[in-house]
Chain A
Amino acid sequence: MAGQSKLSELFIKCKSENRAALIGYLPAGFPNQSDSIKIIKAMIEGGVDAVEIGFPYSDPVMDGPVIQEAAEVARNNGITMAKTLEIVKEISGTGVPTLLMTYWNPIEKYGPAKFAHDFSDSGMEGVITPDLPIEEAGVWLATAKENSIHSIFVVAPSTGDGRLKDVTSNCSGFIYAASSMGVTGTQTNVANTASILVERVRNVSGTPVAVGLGVSNRAQASEVAKFADGVIVGSAFVKAVLQNPSDPATAVRKVAEELALGVRER
């Protein structure tokens, strides 16, 4: 079932086109409910192949200042799980593979089974859980499988070889490779550490690998596209919204257009 998801089809298609997939992240309800949907749609129009919607959480330890600020804006404007569900439904309705990125506690509070059922019903195909190590993921893995939801875990440069095998064997859809040691939005020379990690992942898994953390422009997207199956961009989109309050949708579309060129320059 998971093999027939739009997400899996996307990676097959990108491979045949000899390019990487562009995965764009924006927080749900940022800056507010209705604009959030418009802005995510603009990101898709600009050329994003898959959307990762973040659930804004009060204690986002994996996020740098840019996404923290966005999460705070969205929370102040009343984002809830119920409203996130509406956004997921609206975005997945466009036909683009739609994923949710959330810290674990909101799922636990919602109830993993109900969460999987409700969000899967709305068209969500996968969940990225940045603070759920596989040791704590037993319940979630079983629930996700039952609902044909891809479980996407993060691997880091510090993940040892033995562990890399364990984590990646529990991933479906794709494997999220953190480009560097750090939080989202960190500006570093991503390509070096990321290419080493992606190569290590390829030695133990045949699942597509997407690289995230610190990719913000066309040149970086192109660098990463040379060795990865997917390029994940978040903070650059959030920044575009924060810096262009009068017309955030246009700004986001432009960023997406640039990045879409990048992932095709292998």
Chain B
Amino acid sequence: MLTDQDIAGKFGQFGGRFVPEALIGALDELERTHNEAMSDPVFLSELAHLNATYVGRPSILTDAKNFSKHCGGAQILLKREDLNHTGSHKINNVIGQALLTKRMGKKRVIAETGAGQHGVATATAAALMGFECVVYMGEEDVRRQSLNVARMKLLGAQVVPVTSGSRTLKDAINEAMRDWVTNVADTHYLLGTVAGPHPFPTIVRDFHSVIGNEAREQVLALNGKLPDAVLACIGGGSNAIGIFNRFIGDAGVRLIGLEAGGDGIETGRHASTISGGTVGVLHGTRTYVLQDENGQTVESHSISAGLDYPGVGPEHAHLHDLGRAEYRSVTDAQAMEAFALLSREEGIIPAIETAHALYGAMVLGKELGPDATILINLSGRGDKDVQTAATWFGIEL
């Protein structure tokens, strides 16, 4: 009801399909395949089986009692997507789309990646299912996420550094689109976030909804009531939509997305698309975009490669305009403060992406007080970020 979409791939004024004609047939095929699969008990049981025996679902819920002290004493519940196979939520969508790839009879998958988490997850599924796999990654991200590059290579994927534009996630998506336009007959573009042309925002949301479905039950079982707020970091917004989706109908539950504020929105060096962007079209979808007066995409900035994206999923743009979800901005420095605190207080090193949501909880907890319950999607683990964190905190390696 709130997100009145799907038939035309629209979320209010957002979404749609702004792509070269050559891709329309493939998007139609993907939409058809996805619709059929989601009502096919055989597909759903295969997906559930892989989630249980390969991904490690359900992921657990951790009551972060020590970190709570830094959040005004509010109860902080962490949905532990960091404990999934490959270390982040990204695998949920990848396993789903890999099964769709098989269903379409395609043998080659391509993907874009920023932090490398989606690339690693895609390389993993490709290894499992025997697909050829090519991952496009901005040259700048190859440098700051070298550990994940090595993981992808070990898994048998080819990693292509992208040297055009800002050399980050945005340009990796451009390059993947170009590959797809050329090789669409035998290739599936395994897009990693809830952006891109229809049906991707819907498909990716559907496969990540398992996060919120599990978390809602787990919170109810623990507390006997729903949380006051659900928090997640937002780049494209896949982990956020995954945990928000089941709660959208729960009017009393606040949904808050934390965007990457980089050096601060006021500096212009940030990746806070909803807080600091305007409506436009990027990568096949109408949404909020960081752009200049000529409609050129403006480069985003964030310490976190996974949030360093000048667009955002169209459903988030819609939830924002409806007032159903709130979007706040967290700077690099604030995120790193939360990164250090969670590591020291709970023995959990989060991904820097996720640390943005953790800082959001530190602020919100103080606003709401000790009686509140805040559910956070702990979307990924921080192993890949050790180098960046060591540099930030001045730890010698």
Interface residues of chain A, those whose CB is within 8 Å of chain B, are: 57-65, 68, 72, 75, 80-81, 104-110, 130-133, 135-136, 153-160, 163, 167, 178, 181-183, 186
Interface flags, B148-178, vs A, CB<8A=1, else 0: 0000000000000000110000100010011
A65 → B minimal CB distance (Å): 8
Decide: A182 and B21 in contact? CB cutoff 8 A: no
**CA–CA, A178 to B23, complex, Å?**
12
- Pairs across A and B, CB under 8 Å, 10 listed: A58-B165, A59-B165, A61-B19, A105-B281, A110-B295, A155-B21, A157-B22, A158-B184, A159-B21, A160-B25
Known contacts A105-B295, A108-B281; decide if A182 and B182 are in contact (CB<8 Å): yes
Decide: A186 and B280 in contact? CB cutoff 8 A: no
Known contacts A104-B281, A183-B181; decide if A109 and B291 are in contact (CB<8 Å): yes
A232 → B minimal CB distance (Å): 15
B297 on interface, CB distance cutoff 8 Å:
yes
**CA–CA, A68 to B19, complex, Å?**
17
**CA–CA, A45 to B26, complex, Å?**
42
Known contacts A105-B291, A109-B293; decide if A59 and B282 are in contact (CB<8 Å): yes
Decide: A178 and B21 in contact? CB cutoff 8 A: yes
Chain B residues with Cβ below 8 Å from A80 are 294
Interface residues of chain B, those whose CB is within 8 Å of chain A, are: 8, 16-22, 24-26, 164-165, 170, 174, 177-178, 181-185, 280-284, 289, 291, 293-297
Partner of B17, one of A65, A68, A75, A135: A135
Decide: B182 and A183 in contact? CB cutoff 8 A: yes
Chain A residues with Cβ below 8 Å from B16 are 135-136
Complex A-B, nearest 7 residue pairs according to Cβ-Cβ distance, in ascending order: A109-B295, A106-B295, A156-B22, A61-B177, A182-B182, A58-B297, A58-B296
Decide: B170 and A59 in contact? CB cutoff 8 A: yes
B138 → A minimal CB distance (Å): 13
**CA–CA, A156 to B22, complex, Å?**
5
A-B contact sample (18 more), CB < 8 A, given A105-B297, A183-B182 = A58-B296, A59-B282, A61-B283, A63-B178, A105-B281, A105-B291, A106-B294, A106-B295, A109-B291, A109-B295, A133-B18, A156-B22, A178-B22, A181-B184, A181-B185, A182-B181, A182-B182, A183-B181
Decide: A130 and B17 in contact? CB cutoff 8 A: no
Decide: A153 and B181 in contact? CB cutoff 8 A: no
Chain B residues with Cβ below 8 Å from A178 are 21-22
Chain B residues with Cβ below 8 Å from A130 are 20-21
Decide: A109 and B24 in contact? CB cutoff 8 A: no
Decide: A105 and B280 in contact? CB cutoff 8 A: yes
Chain A residues with Cβ below 8 Å from B165 are 58-59, 72
**CA–CA, A216 to B325, complex, Å?**
51
Chain A residues with Cβ below 8 Å from B19 are 61, 131, 133
A167's nearest neighbour on chain B, judged by CB, is B21
Chain A residues with Cβ below 8 Å from B174 are 59-61
**CA–CA, A181 to B17, complex, Å?**
19
Chain B residues with Cβ below 8 Å from A110 are 294-295
Q: Which of B16, B19, B170, B295 is packed against the most chain A CB atoms within 10 Å?
A: B295
Decide: A131 and B284 in contact? CB cutoff 8 A: yes
B278 → A minimal CB distance (Å): 8
A167 → B minimal CB distance (Å): 7
A108 → B minimal CB distance (Å): 6
A164's nearest neighbour on chain B, judged by CB, is B21
Decide: A109 and B294 in contact? CB cutoff 8 A: yes
**CA–CA, A130 to B21, complex, Å?**
7
Chain A residues with Cβ below 8 Å from B24 are 133, 158-159, 163
**CA–CA, A140 to B272, complex, Å?**
30
Decide: A109 and B178 in contact? CB cutoff 8 A: no
Decide: B296 and A106 in contact? CB cutoff 8 A: yes
B353 → A minimal CB distance (Å): 23
Partner of A181, one of B18, B181, B289: B181
A220 → B minimal CB distance (Å): 19
B284's nearest neighbour on chain A, judged by CB, is A131
Chain B residues with Cβ below 8 Å from A104 are 18, 281
Q: Which of B19, B165, B283, B294 is packed against the most chain A CB atoms within 10 Å?
A: B294
**CA–CA, A159 to B24, complex, Å?**
8
Partner of B21, one of A68, A106, A133: A133
**CA–CA, A160 to B8, complex, Å?**
19
A88 → B minimal CB distance (Å): 15
**CA–CA, A156 to B113, complex, Å?**
28
Chain A residues with Cβ below 8 Å from B17 are 133, 135-136
**CA–CA, A57 to B281, complex, Å?**
12
Decide: A158 and B22 in contact? CB cutoff 8 A: yes
Decide: A181 and B22 in contact? CB cutoff 8 A: yes
A249 → B minimal CB distance (Å): 27
Decide: B297 and A131 in contact? CB cutoff 8 A: no
**CA–CA, A158 to B23, complex, Å?**
8
Decide: B291 and A154 in contact? CB cutoff 8 A: no
Chain B residues with Cβ below 8 Å from A64 are 178
**CA–CA, A67 to B174, complex, Å?**
14
**CA–CA, A155 to B23, complex, Å?**
11
Partner of B297, one of A59, A133, A157, A160: A59
**CA–CA, A240 to B25, complex, Å?**
35
**CA–CA, A104 to B22, complex, Å?**
16
Chain B residues with Cβ below 8 Å from A158 are 21-22, 24-26, 184-185
Known contacts A105-B281, A135-B17, A158-B26; decide if A61 and B178 are in contact (CB<8 Å): yes
Q: Which of A59, A131, A133 is packed against the most chain B CB atoms within 10 Å?
A: A59
**CA–CA, A131 to B22, complex, Å?**
10
A93 → B minimal CB distance (Å): 23
Chain A residues with Cβ below 8 Å from B283 are 59, 61
